[in-house]
Chains A and B, each alone.
Chain A
Amino acid sequence: MDFKNAKELLKLCEEQHMQISEVMRQRECDMGETTCDIIDHKMRRVLEIMRNSATQPIKTPVRSMGGLIGGEAKKLDVHRARGESICGGVLGRAIMYSMAVLEVNATMGLIVAAPTAGSSGVVPGLLLALQEEYHISDERILDALMTAGAIGYLAMNNATVAGAVGGCQAEVGVASAMAAAAAVELMGGRPSQCLDAASTVLMNMLGLVCDPVAGLVEYPCQNRNAAGVANALTAAELALSEVPQLIPLDEMIDTMYTVGKKLPSELRETAQGGCATTPSACALCAQCF
């Protein structure tokens, strides 16, 4: 079982009466010449690392290598604990977890690139928040990770997930599309709704540039992971409400790629434009490594 684009994926889901997660798992068994047991074991390890990295800095905040971030997840937790969160349960938690993962990443902790290190907070952020708020089992979260993986694979196969090639829309944008599709399947949506949610995210994050201050995976990366979670949740809500997405995912992936390649190199991970060259960022650079 294999698919090259979203159209083929949807066809497989409909013909076989399978969820995206089931098709992706079967593809992994067939194409990777391995067993479902081995795959499930590896995915459990992925989830374990994701959960550790999403929770650890809430208890023990650490300053990042470059010194630009550290302690954000803890601040969000304190704010929530006071009952002052204006985001509500799912989004409040998801933002906190997503920023926590980037904090771990920036302090040389263990994370899972999803699909990249700079965008590693979005998928665990949203899925772990949904798990807690709705009391969802690990088994179903493991399925949702497969769905997220399917969307990321489509972007890797047909476009790019490298900020140096396609800007932040290819990193946090794709991560958020992955999270949105996974959230839709998790909350009972059909495969077509999952793909619509992913497409909506890419549409709404189209053109986002990659402009890391001092060239480090810290700022604005961590902030953008939190924003990506909000985008993913919004798109999932639209899809689950049957709000139509007029542009199919394959076309949005193509467009994201085309726009990415048109971005000037200053705005593709070189730290020569955008936030990175604001006077304040330049002043901060002098204090970093």
Chain B
Amino acid sequence: MAFISVFDVLGPNMIGPSSSHTAGTAVIAYLAHKMIAGPIKQVEFILYGSFSKTYKGHGTDRALLGGIMGFGTDDTRIRDSFSIAKERGLEYHFTINETETDIYPNTVDIMMTNEAGQTMTVRGESLGGGKVRIVRINGVEVDFTGEYSAIIVVHQDKPGVVAHITKCLSDRNANIAFMRLFRESRGHTAYTIVESDDHLPENIVESLKENSNVHDVMVIQS
């Protein structure tokens, strides 16, 4: 089991009322906003399970919207995220899905469109105590928590890409904690997720993109 810190017990510092329905959802949306380039123009949240029933009373909607705007779990602006989103010209919608029940109870899909017109869909699960898991990116099943600094490399499923990724990391002396590859199907789009204990060097993005099979790179610092 991972190290349990005293601040996992006395924490997170958070906007209430619920670590799973408020803090956890802010974290999921925060991670999602880090995965798309530039400002987000439009966002739709699809709420499943327990979220679909009690989201208003738990402020889940405000927390999600706050996270998308980059607010942390302890940011008091979460309360006013509707009005802040309006000021920023961010268009948002909440949709309830009560028909799909064969799904983890605290699940949300986040569909984002940025100013360049790019779209991205991220699915997250809130596990309790503010802990979360990102389980899907653009329909591909993935698995990471955001507790470590992470690089997400979107690439063609071709030989040599993983070797290129590890070389870029070792060239910068970055230590890999976990590394996993997820793919749609053989030869199609794949996602390699590298998690590291250390702060990741920002300039790694350019060198990763030097390989022609790499489509996109996202860096999420812990």
Q: Which residues of A contact B (CB under 8 A)?
A: 24, 28, 31-32, 39, 42-43, 45-46, 49, 64-66, 104-118, 120, 123, 145-146, 148-150, 152-153, 156-157, 161-162, 164, 178, 214-218, 288-289
Contact = CB atoms under 8 A, between A and B. Distances in A.
Contact of B6 (A116, A117, A153, A162): A153
A278 to B, nearest CB: 18
Contacts of B1: 157
Contact of B57 (A105, A110, A216): A216
Given A24-B6, A65-B58, A152-B9, A215 B53 contact: yes
A150 B23 CA distance: 23
B14 A110 contact: yes
A118 B18 contact: yes
Contact of A116 (B4, B15, B129): B129
Contacts of B50: 215
Contact of B12 (A113, A145, A152, A214): A113
B10 A114 contact: yes
11 contacts: A31-B3, A46-B10, A49-B74, A65-B56, A108-B16, A108-B62, A108-B79, A112-B11, A113-B19, A114-B10, A117-B19
Contacts of A117: 14, 16-19, 22-23
Contact of A107 (B6, B12, B16): B16
Contacts of B128: 162, 164
Given A31-B3, A152-B10, A156-B4, 15 more contacts: A39-B6, A46-B13, A104-B16, A106-B17, A108-B78, A109-B15, A110-B16, A110-B74, A113-B23, A114-B9, A150-B6, A162-B129, A214-B57, A215-B54, A216-B58
Central interface residue in B3, B18, B59, B76, by most chain A CB within 10 Å: B18
Interface of B: 1, 3-19, 22-23, 50, 53-54, 56-59, 62, 74, 76, 78-79, 128-130
Contacts of B62: 108
Contacts of A178: 9
A162 to B, nearest CB: 5
A269 to B, nearest CB: 9
A271 B144 CA distance: 30
Given A65-B59, A162-B128, A111 B6 contact: no
Given A288-B57, A289-B57, A46 B11 contact: yes
Q: Which 10 interchain pairs have the tightest Cβ spacing? A: A105-B16, A152-B9, A149-B6, A289-B56, A289-B57, A66-B57, A217-B17, A215-B54, A216-B57, A149-B9
Nearest to A46: B10
Contacts of A111: 13-16
Contacts of A108: 15-17, 22, 59, 62, 78-79
Contacts of B129: 113, 115-116, 161-162
B17 A105 contact: yes
A117 to B, nearest CB: 5
Contact of A110 (B5, B6, B10, B76): B76
B54 A214 contact: yes
A94 B5 CA distance: 26
Contacts of A120: 16
A216 B7 contact: no
Contacts of A145: 10
A32 B2 CA distance: 11
A192 to B, nearest CB: 21
A217 B16 contact: yes
A112 B10 contact: yes
B6 A28 contact: yes
Nearest to B1: A157
B10 A148 contact: yes
Contact of B10 (A104, A149, A162, A215): A149
Contact of B58 (A46, A116, A217): A217
A105 B7 CA distance: 18
Interface centre among A108, A153, A156, A157 (most CB of B within 10 A): A108
A106 B5 CA distance: 26
A193 to B, nearest CB: 21
A105 B18 CA distance: 8
A253 to B, nearest CB: 14
Contact of B17 (A24, A148, A216): A216
Nearest to B7: A42
A218 B1 CA distance: 32
A273 B12 CA distance: 29
Contact of B5 (A32, A118, A289): A32
A45 B59 contact: no
Contacts of B14: 110-113, 117
Contacts of B22: 108, 117
